[in-house]
């Protein structure tokens, strides 16, 4: 009976590429590991949503959707 010898192969982990900061006025957006964190940041108006905030949210979610390293959004 023949015996197979297994050897470990090196694992390649993609390096984090350069990040381009999004120009968001009313939303904080951060990626850590495979999670993107989106936070409305308008404390003076108790985080009320206006057109600009909706646009910032859309931009952040589209960026997370288009980033293959992001596995989820909080």
Query: Mind listing the pLDDT tens digit for each residue in 33-74?
Result: 999 999 999 999 999 999 999 999 999 999 999 999 999 999
Instruction: Specify whether the backbone of 27 is left (phi greater than 0), alpha (psi in -120 to 50) or beta.
Output: beta
What would the mean pLDDT of 15-44 be, rounded to a whole number? 87
Q: Please report whether residue 32 resides in a domain.
A: yes
Please answer whether residues 39 and 24 qualify as being in contact, where contact means their C-beta atoms are separated by less than 8 angstroms: no
pLDDT for residue 9 is more than 70: no
Q: Please report whether residue 18 resides in a domain.
A: no
What was the pLDDT predicted at 11?
Answer: 46
What was the pLDDT predicted at 13?
Answer: 44
Is pTM, for the whole model, over 0.85? no
Domain count across the chain: 1
What was the pLDDT predicted at 45?
Answer: 98
Q: Domain containing 64: what range? A: 27-73
């Amino acid at each position: 009976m023949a015996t197979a010898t297994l050897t470990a192969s090196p694992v390649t982990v993609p390096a984090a590429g350069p990040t381009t900061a999004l120009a968001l006025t009313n939303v904080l957006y951060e990626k850590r590991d495979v999670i993107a964190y989106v936070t409305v940041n308008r404390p003076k108006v108790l985080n009320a949503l206006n057109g600009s905030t909706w646009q910032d949210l859309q931009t952040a979610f589209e960026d997370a959707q288009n980033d293959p390293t992001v596995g989820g959004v909080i």
